[in-house]
Amino acid sequence: MTDPKQPIAWHHVRWLLLSLLLVAAPHALHMPGWSIALMAMLAAWSAYAGYARHALPNRWLLMMIAVATFVGVFVNYRTVFGRDAGVTLLVIMLGLKLLETRTHRDAMLLSFLGYFLVITNFLYSQTIATGLYMLACTVFVTATMMNLNYAGTEPPFRAQLRTAGVLLAQSVPLMLVLFLLFPRVPGPLWGLPRDAFAGVSGLSDTMTPGSLSSLVLSDAVAFRVRFDAQIPRAKDLYWRGPVMWDFDGRTWSAQFFVYTAPGIEAAGDSVAYEVTLEPHNRRWLFALDLPAVVPPRSVVSTDYQLYSIQPVNNRLRYDMTSFLNARFGEVENRFALRRALQVPPRSNPRAQELGRELRQKHADDEQIISEMLSMFRRNFVYTLEPPLLGANPVDEFLFSTRSGFCEHYASSFAVVMRAAGIPTRIVTGYQGGEINALGNYLIVRQADAHAWTEVWLRNRGWVRVDPTFAVAPVRVDTGISAAVSRTDPLPLMVRTPYEFLRQARLAWDTMANAWNQWVLGYTPERQRSLLAQAGLDDATWAKLTAILIAVAGVIVAMFTALALRQLKSRARDPVTIAYRRFCDKLRRRGLTREAAEGPVDYARRVERLRPELTPAVEAITRLYVALRYGAESSAAALIELQRRVRQFPA
Amino acid sequence: MYAALRNRFYTWIFQWRGPEAGAIVLGQRRIFILPTRPGLVYATVLLVMLAGSINYQLGLGFVLTFLLGALGVNAMIHTFRNLANLRITGGRTRPVFAGDTALFTIHLENQGDTDRYAIGLTHDRRRASFVDVIARSAVPATAAVAAPRRGVLRPGRLTLFTRFPLGLYYAWAYVDLDLRCIVYPRPAPPGMPMPPAESIAGAGTERGLGQEDFSGMRQYHRGDSPRHIAWKAAARDQGLLTKQFTGRAETELWLDWAQLPPQMGVEERLSHLARWVLVAHAAGLAYGLRVPGTSVEPAAGESQRDRCLETLALFEHK
């Protein structure tokens, strides 16, 4: 940059346009159509003005476009804040700034905004692919900044990109130190926009026929689990999520309510593990039945649901311990039991009638349960594509369609049990998971979503009953892909026959998991535990800063030394080295060689000023010229040159 | 008091040591570096990005912010390196007339293996010229300095600076080479008639031209007027020959200080003498110059013109 106020040229505009459009491109996926068109127009205008050396539009016109954009964004989103609205505004403002960029200083500012735009992309996606793309964008923005600072000739396009890439690559060691040691503080610092984490899938706090089966079509990861010891058997992997108490005839719903807690009577085996939960924007956390501890910043409800205090809108890691065969809730609150018996009186009359019949037939609760399960086992079908159900879905399912997914079985089982006078509630969550042998952890996907029931039995407390297990035992033993029929749609990767693809997928998931754990999930807690492993137990803010400065200082010093060493003249050519030594000897006698003086001219001048040196100077110069510029390349000549230079009086 | 203190501080910190002879190699102690205004804006943008990363808990946001932070440090090293170990020697400077701009040339030699781009040279920090010095090469750079008065002009401290590669830092070095430029007196406007030629009264300029009195040719010597070169012979590939004229020796034109009106001041006299020198040279005459204390024997050609103008420039010059 020659002068900050100097006007920029077309090749600068070209670089700015290229890098900014590259950075903004992914935003086109969530910007409204009109704003994409407007941005394209602004970019084209700027390109035309730069190319044809046209005057840039007047400020008032740009101001009007800016105001119109604000109005448009407000109409579109009903706000100008928030993530989507903010990003749309930022992109359009950048386009307008392009049309206002006249000087080097403006252009520099624009490249800084380009960096800023890179970070806004991370609000939407932080996958490895996004990371790589944005790294490329960063190289482009950096190259643009460099382009603005060339004064005369500039290297070819690819050389400029390469130089920018080298500049960034050299920054990586210091970046790593900053990343690992910069004192991390838990966010957020200020309120997040409401739409900050929209559009993530997961379980919901209601359950209607069909709500889980749609989730099962997604092979998105729900959470990953690393067990301290052996991974438990598949039939023990019931990941407890929202517990549903209330039924309106069609929809089950979970409500957070607190009453006197039932205790755990017998704990049984315990298992310890670490869960890394993908953001789902709700508050519940998942744990194996039955959670034994409560992670930090969360609470447990009395039906043993874990709730985070904040919605989980970032990947969350927590340590858990569970009791696999616990007995709990033998002494249960009677209001809770009453609630677990309620069925809307006029809904699903045939199912309620069935419940009452079962009660008349058997006095024992457990006999009622096993008769109901054997009924399921006899002539019911487990399918991902159940027929649509009408106003009384439980009746229709039990007595006519007889094919359904886990939520149909859980729901109808609960209705019948309640009608028979057995307190029953529905538990949703996930069942099973895929073991990734490469990374030795368990992947639980949305496709593993499941619903089961818990019945309350006198002297036994709450007991898990999984009606789906009666219909399709393989669902629980092996997983969803074995349980549904071949013709049912399932995510490709969930099906086992594609073994090669599944292995590739697992390898990729191992990488993604490492990425999540170390790049995206490097939280203040993780930092603390890493430092503790390194032997630094109480890393205070001040201590961490001191270490950071020390390590960064060493790296910068080393790098500076390396960078400056390259500047020292390192003549590898022995002829040049010998001749330089000769020139140095003459310089000490006050006969400095001029910058533009050739060796012959130099020799002539030296001979004129110091005739007594003539024979030596002439011989050395003749040898040098012959070796350097002539065809002469004999080793004898070189040795002769070196000898004469050595003998030349200093 | 404050100014004196500041001056001493500057002298200490910037190591001002007066003109240096020979070559200057820009070592660590000679290069200074400060962030530019865009550099400060860059730092602010990074702080905003850091706050955003903390707030939205963006793992990749941290990666990007720290990468750019490290890039900022790296850019400082690169900007410094762009000047470091540059070898600077003074070059020749062509004389100028008072009131013109002198162009001081220095040679920048890059002895290392890395190319250096956009190195600026300035005298007054307002106008600058930029050069690129690729690896293992030397290039001249010029600094324009106004030459208001005749005599010897020394540019004093020149500033070499660079903002390359990212424009986030401004690195500079002061070079005070022993550079000088002869500033000739500004030629007076036409008006004062030329003095007559001395030895042959009334011979005037026509005789002095002597175009007809061609006496032969000799080898070209530096300083011969181009208008006396036998271009036809040169075109026939006979080398450069100079035509000689016998008539020139007969005319002795003396440009004499004493010929100007006695009430005229020193600078004004020098101006008139300078114009006469130029007119006489343009006419191809042989002429001599007399000023109090010095005289230049009559001769013709460019070297005679330069010698005379230099005598005028240095007249009574300390």
Give residue-wise pLDDT tens across range B289-309: 988 888 888 888 889 999 999
Please report, for residues A153, A573, B113, B123, B283, the alpha-carbon distance to residue B240 in angstroms, rounded to integers and kept in the order given.
39, 41, 43, 41, 21
Please indicate, yes or no, whether residues A300 and A400 belong to a single structural domain of this protein. Answer: yes
Determine the pLDDT at residue B209: 42
* pLDDT one-digit tens code per residue, A163-181: 999 999 999 999 999 999 9
Q: What angle do the packed helices A104-121 and A128-147 form, to 10 degrees?
A: 180
Q: What angle do the packed helices A172-181 and A157-170 form, to 10 degrees?
A: 40
Q: Choose the closest CB to A567 out of B36, B67, B114.
A: B114
Residues 6+ apart with CB under 8 A from A141: A19, A20, A23, A111, A114, A115, A118
Between CA B56 and CA A359 the distance in angstroms is 55
Do residues A16 and A98 make contact, with C-beta atoms less than 8 angstroms apart?
A: yes
* A523 domain residue, yes or no: no
H-run or E-run covering B142 = strand B137-146
pLDDT at A120 over 60: yes
Please indicate, yes or no, whether residues A228 and A321 belong to a single structural domain of this protein. Answer: yes
pLDDT at B313 over 60: yes
In A, which residues are within 8 Å of B133 by CB distance?
A: none
The nearest alpha carbon in chain B to A138 belongs to: B64
pLDDT at A189 over 80: no
Nearest to B79 by CA among B164, B173, B174, B168: B164
Is-cis flag, bond preceding A32, omega within 30?
no
Share of chain B above pLDDT 70, in %: 88
Please indicate, yes or no, whether residues A332 and A440 belong to a single structural domain of this protein. Answer: yes
Tokens matching residue B148? 């208001």
In A, which residues are within 8 Å of B167 by CB distance?
A: 1, 104, 108, 145, 148-149
* pLDDT one-digit tens code per residue, B129-188: 899 988 878 889 999 999 999 999 998 889 999 998 899 999 999 998 888 899 999 998
User: Best of B67, B86, B163 to disrupt the A interface by mutation (most A CBs within 10 Å)?
Assistant: B67
Please report, for residues A40, A44, A67, A68, B306, the alpha-carbon distance to residue A61 in angstroms, rounded to integers and kept in the order given.
17, 16, 10, 11, 61
The domain boundary, picked from A170, A198, A221, lies at A170
The nearest alpha carbon in chain A to B51 belongs to: A189
* A124 domain residue, yes or no: yes
3-state secondary structure (DSSP) of residue A598: coil
Between CA B45 and CA B38 the distance in angstroms is 10
Please report, for residues A168, A238, B174, B183, the alpha-carbon distance to residue B106 in angstroms, rounded to integers and kept in the order given.
34, 81, 13, 18
Share of chain A above pLDDT 90, in %: 30
Tokens matching residue A327? 């007995």
Rounded to two decimals, the pTM is 0.73
* pLDDT one-digit tens code per residue, A400-421: 888 888 888 999 999 999 999 9
Do residues A249 and A392 make contact, with C-beta atoms less than 8 angstroms apart?
A: yes
The nearest alpha carbon in chain A to B115 belongs to: A567
Q: Total structural domains in chain A?
A: 3
The pLDDT-based confidence of B203 (bands split at 50, 70, 90) is: very low
Please indicate, yes or no, whether residues A245 and A370 belong to a single structural domain of this protein. Answer: yes
Phi-psi region of B26 (alpha: psi -120 to 50; beta: other; left: phi over 0): beta
* A581 domain residue, yes or no: yes
* A515 domain residue, yes or no: no
Tokens matching residue A214? 């749609």
Is A1 within 8 Å of B56 when comparing Cβ atoms?
no
* pLDDT one-digit tens code per residue, A293-333: 888 888 888 888 888 888 887 788 899 999 888 888 888 88
Please indicate, yes or no, whether residues A32 and A140 belong to a single structural domain of this protein. Answer: yes
**pLDDT mean over A247-255:** 85
* A524 domain residue, yes or no: no
Phi-psi region of A433 (alpha: psi -120 to 50; beta: other; left: phi over 0): left
**pLDDT mean over A604-632:** 85
Please indicate, yes or no, whether residues A289 and A355 belong to a single structural domain of this protein. Answer: yes
Is A167 within 8 Å of B56 when comparing Cβ atoms?
no
Q: Choose the closest CB to B54 out of A185, A559, A564.
A: A185
Between CA A73 and CA A91 the distance in angstroms is 12
Query: Of the given ranges (A216-230, A569-583, B91-105), which has the lowest mean pLDDT?
Result: A569-583
**pLDDT mean over A236-251:** 89
Tokens matching residue A511? 């990488």
Is B58 within 8 Å of A122 when comparing Cβ atoms?
yes
Please indicate, yes or no, whether residues A265 and A325 belong to a single structural domain of this protein. Answer: yes
Please report, for residues A40, A221, A231, A446, B31, the alpha-carbon distance to residue A506 in angstroms, rounded to integers and kept in the order given.
40, 12, 17, 16, 55
Please indicate, yes or no, whether residues A95 and A150 belong to a single structural domain of this protein. Answer: yes
Query: Of the given ranges (A124-128, A143-147, B16-20, B50-54), which has the lowest mean pLDDT?
Result: B16-20
* A317 domain residue, yes or no: yes
Please indicate, yes or no, whether residues A488 and A600 belong to a single structural domain of this protein. Answer: no
Do residues B243 and B237 make contact, with C-beta atoms less than 8 angstroms apart?
A: no
The domain boundary, picked from A494, A517, A542, lies at A494
- Which position has the token pair 């109808």? A412
* pLDDT one-digit tens code per residue, A535-565: 877 767 888 888 899 999 999 999 888 888 7
The average confidence (pLDDT) of chain A is 85
Please indicate, yes or no, whether residues A86 and A216 belong to a single structural domain of this protein. Answer: no
Between CA B8 and CA A605 the distance in angstroms is 42
Tokens matching residue B254? 């003396």
**Is residue B91 within 8 angstroms of chain A, CB to CB?**
yes
Is A172 within 8 Å of B67 when comparing Cβ atoms?
yes
Please indicate, yes or no, whether residues A462 and A344 belong to a single structural domain of this protein. Answer: yes
Q: How many CB pairs (< 8 A) connect A and B?
A: 195
Between CA A147 and CA B165 the distance in angstroms is 8
Please calculate the CA angle A261-A267-A268 and round it to the nearest 5 degrees.
155
> Which residues of A181-291 form beta strands (DSSP E)?
206-207, 221-227, 238-244, 246-247, 252-253, 264-266, 270-277, 284-285, 287-288
What is the residue range of A632's domain? 574-647
Residues 6+ apart with CB under 8 A from B265: none
Determine the pLDDT at residue B111: 82
Nearest to A355 by CA among A455, A277, A476, A259: A455
Determine the pLDDT at residue B254: 87
Higher pLDDT, B205 or A365: A365
Q: Choose the closest CB to A568 out of B48, B63, B112.
A: B112
**pLDDT mean over A598-620:** 88
Residues 6+ apart with CB under 8 A from A205: A242, A253, A254, A255, A282
Higher pLDDT, A10 or B72: B72
Please indicate, yes or no, whether residues A25 and A93 belong to a single structural domain of this protein. Answer: yes
The domain boundary, picked from A494, A523, A557, lies at A494
Is A595 within 8 Å of B109 when comparing Cβ atoms?
yes
Query: Of the given ranges (A1-10, A609-618, B156-165, B299-308), which has the lowest mean pLDDT?
Result: A1-10
pLDDT at A236 over 80: yes
Q: What share of chain B is helix, strand, coil (3-state, %, to 5)?
A: 35, 30, 35
The nearest alpha carbon in chain B to A315 belongs to: B57
Chain A nearest-CA distance from B177, in A, is 14
Do residues A448 and A431 make contact, with C-beta atoms less than 8 angstroms apart?
A: yes
Determine the pLDDT at residue A515: 86
Strands B128-133 and B137-146: unpaired
pLDDT at A1 over 50: no
Beta bridge partners of residue A288, listed in sequence order? A239
Beta bridge partners of residue A450, listed in sequence order? A429
Q: Choose the closest CB to B66 out of A122, A175, A520.
A: A175
The average confidence (pLDDT) of chain B is 83
Determine the pLDDT at residue B248: 47
* A598 domain residue, yes or no: yes
The pLDDT-based confidence of A473 (bands split at 50, 70, 90) is: confident
Determine the pLDDT at residue B38: 94
* A177 domain residue, yes or no: no
Query: Of the given ranges (A290-299, A368-377, A458-467, A501-510), which has the lowest mean pLDDT?
Result: A501-510
Please report, for residues A18, B4, B130, the alpha-carbon distance to residue A152 in angstroms, rounded to integers and kept in the order given.
22, 40, 7
Burial class (CB in 10 A: 0-12, 13-18, 19+), B314: middle
pLDDT at A246 over 70: yes
pLDDT at A5 over 80: no
For residue A33, the Cα-to-chain-centroid distance in whole angstroms is: 27
Please report, for residues A135, A493, B88, B106, B292, the alpha-carbon distance to residue B21 in angstroms, rounded to integers and kept in the order given.
49, 77, 11, 13, 33
In A, which residues are within 8 Å of B57 by CB distance?
A: 187-188, 314, 523
Please report, for residues A153, A196, A264, A316, the alpha-carbon distance to residue A311 in angstroms, rounded to integers and kept in the order given.
55, 12, 28, 10
